[in-house]
Structure 1
Amino acid sequence: MQSLRPLEDTKIVCQPIALFGQAFALSCALWQRVRCQTHLRRAIRIGAPPLKNPHHGISCQEEHITYAKLSRAALGGAVAIVMSNIVSNILFFQLGRPLLFENEAQSAKVVAVLFEMEPLPLMFTNGPLYMAIAALIGVIHGLVFYWIEPALPRGIVARGLAFGAILWALMALYFEFHTPFNMFGEPVALVAVELVFWIAVVAVQGLVLSIIYGRSRDELASPVE
């Protein structure tokens, strides 16, 4: 049976993702610096309070934090989903292969779709492309994380695990029902095993994203006088 080559594929994909993230963060920071300096000069000229942004009602410092956190969330989402895909490959296709795919109880349709029917899944035929597309989806996950982050628990670990729990409930649970069970006839016991594996996968995704994101933007923002 074929499996992904996670280390080789990740080296190919992660470097351009990291460079793009750095360029994106730098461009956001430079753009925000220009905006703040422009408003500061205008405020000084007319005698207005210098730190207040007239469009958003927040300070230049707070707006800088917002764009910095947005870029970290996007980059963190891309890196996190690549890392979680590596964990998924190890759990499902290496450690779990004897139980999931060499088990006589497993549905023949599952085995055929994954390993026999042409064309084979993209993750087997073009790992770098698969990882690149996954990274783009991870950016969207990162932006969702940024959006709901103030409502998540405080603390990097608790926040990451909470986001992982959301991913498990909204993504993994329905996927396992709709595809392996509904479409491929996978036995319930094996679906349950895969759901346990998914807990580890989404926990890694949430933790890596939370670590890269860093401190909450609410903790970093200072009140405007």
Structure 2
Amino acid sequence: MNERPNREVIEQIVIEVINRLKPSESIQSSHKPGLLVVNMDHSANDSRIQQLTNHWQVVNFSNPYGLPPKMTDAVFLNITQDLLVKGALGIADTPESRILAQLIVQGSRVRLIPAKSFEWIISSSRNDDSNLYQNKIYMNHFYQYKTKLEMFGVKIQHFNEFSPIKAEEDNQIDDVLFNKKLLTQKDVETFAGEVISVRHSTVITPLARDTIKKLGKRLCIV
């Protein structure tokens, strides 16, 4: 009677209990990664925002005086020369530049999506022969600010280059989040990364903990 319960039995019991607790669709949708969106032209009908909500839990932020929430990922839509220059120089005298400065300080992954008229800044070549851009000296002036921002970890890219897949490629393995409500031995064995990040509410079976130690992986509660 004093025998310790078999851990495999415990895990099966936990799995059965969790499976009976069928989460609602709203709970499932909350497992999307968070994304702070700042739309520079303040357009609520931007179809790109709807595209983002398909893959991200979008948080729109436009408070000119408050601090942005601390989030891993953020994207600015329709940026112009103004934000590029102020971000590179550390000038924070507008709502958007204050948000950008704070995100950089927080270490967030920031993407800047240029407005249509400013997309030339994405060009990797400063010697573009296009007839559209003749004043190379003026363009090079802004390329220097772009380079400075990239040194701070900010990426400037087209919207179609910014996607959950691209974001995942940019992430470190430590940033991969295990989104299921139950972490089992099998999940640990098939998990590709060395660090398994789970939510505080995730149930971790005893066998899963043993396997994490056995395989030399790390468990991170977020």
Coarse TM-score class (shorter-chain normalised): under 0.3
TM-score normalised over the length of structure 2: 0.25
TM-score normalised over the length of structure 1: 0.24
